[in-house]
Chains A and B, each alone.
Chain A
């Protein structure tokens, strides 16, 4: 299979890319900066997902090869108190975590459609239920679900992966934001999140990678929403 993974340097994105590579797929990765081992990838695109240059590079990459799976795993944390978050921050979170997913899909949809490919969007459990001090991130992740659910995909198999708390740098930044907003020690925030799962641990990136592989391989044509939350969010 031929796969493009955005956000491929992130904790979940890299795990997904590695899992596809381990299964024999050809993976083109994208992120702001290249990884330490770009040679492992079939191709690499460095740049801001919002930039026209990056979108153009993604389109060119898909034109040179078949595209069986598009994984949108990029994103930024968005935690913070609603009373103090700045409008420019709101806009930035929405642009990266929502708008860029729509734009990237628009660029690559034709290529995906040729192969009846899978679109795997990494939303979040925060796209299923709200979270205090995370309202804008929730707005973006909920919007992704709304977009996926209401679009007529015609030859593309849409999937929403909704990870729970997964031990990645992004989560660590989000929890730090919550810690700052609430005035609670970071370790207490982590323990609190761990205690909210029924399985008693944070998620591993490999949990999400396994789910992404499974989602991409499903034949069913309609939207599949896959919460992988350790029981913290039952949905």
Chain B
């Protein structure tokens, strides 16, 4: 395997019982703090944001989609504001471990350098 870039990875887990709508706000606050910490440590490394959804989010569709969209707007903005971050969003369900890992390998690898500000929604659709 080719060497992977050092990369900041942030996990945003959409819990089963999240306060609505304040849970979306809390997710953005936590995301902001995580990015700020990474930037203070190394402002040149890429940033990958993983949003992890429940395997079945049909009962919490509004919360899940609102949280995903908030993260997507945030990620796009950071990618524009901090170009070296190439900040990118990956959306997946908890059980999609291998697809998530393959995506991270692409993003951090030598052929992933043109990925910036993207959203990759890996979720299985009915």
Please tell me if the beta carbons of A81 and B24 are within 8 angstroms of each other in the complex.
no
Residue of A nearest to B31 (CB): A139
Answer yes or no: A87 CB below 8 A from chain B CBs: yes
Answer yes or no: B10 CB below 8 A from chain A CBs: no
Residues in chain A near residue B74, CB distance under 8 A: 130, 135-136, 138-139, 142
Residues in chain A near residue B71, CB distance under 8 A: 139
Task: For the complex formed, measure the closest distance between the CB of A133 and the CB atoms of chain B, giving whole angstroms.
Answer: 6
Contact residues on B (Cβ < 8 Å of other chain), bracket: 35 or more
Residue of A nearest to B35 (CB): A82
Residues in chain B near residue A146, CB distance under 8 A: 65-70
Residues 20-35 of B contacting A (Cβ, < 8 Å): 20-22, 24-25, 28-29, 31-33, 35
Residues in chain A near residue B33, CB distance under 8 A: 87
Please tell me if the beta carbons of A87 and B29 are within 8 angstroms of each other in the complex.
yes
Please tell me if the beta carbons of A91 and B29 are within 8 angstroms of each other in the complex.
yes
Answer yes or no: A23 CB below 8 A from chain B CBs: no
- CA–CA, A91 to B30, complex, Å? 10
Interface of A is mostly: helix
Please tell me if the beta carbons of A130 and B75 are within 8 angstroms of each other in the complex.
yes
Residues in chain A near residue B59, CB distance under 8 A: none
Residues in chain B near residue A151, CB distance under 8 A: 62
Please tell me if the beta carbons of A143 and B35 are within 8 angstroms of each other in the complex.
no
| CB contact between A83 and one of B20, B36, B62 (< 8 Å): that residue | B36
Answer yes or no: B82 CB below 8 A from chain A CBs: yes
A91-B25 contact, Cβ under 8 Å, with A138-B73, A146-B68: yes
Residue of A nearest to B40 (CB): A83
| CB contact between A142 and one of B20, B73, B78, B80 (< 8 Å): that residue | B73
**Can you name 25 A-B pairs with beta carbons within 8 Å?**
A82-B36, A83-B43, A90-B25, A91-B29, A94-B70, A99-B21, A130-B72, A130-B73, A130-B76, A131-B80, A132-B80, A133-B81, A135-B81, A138-B74, A138-B77, A139-B31, A140-B73, A142-B69, A142-B73, A143-B73, A146-B65, A146-B66, A146-B67, A147-B62, A150-B64
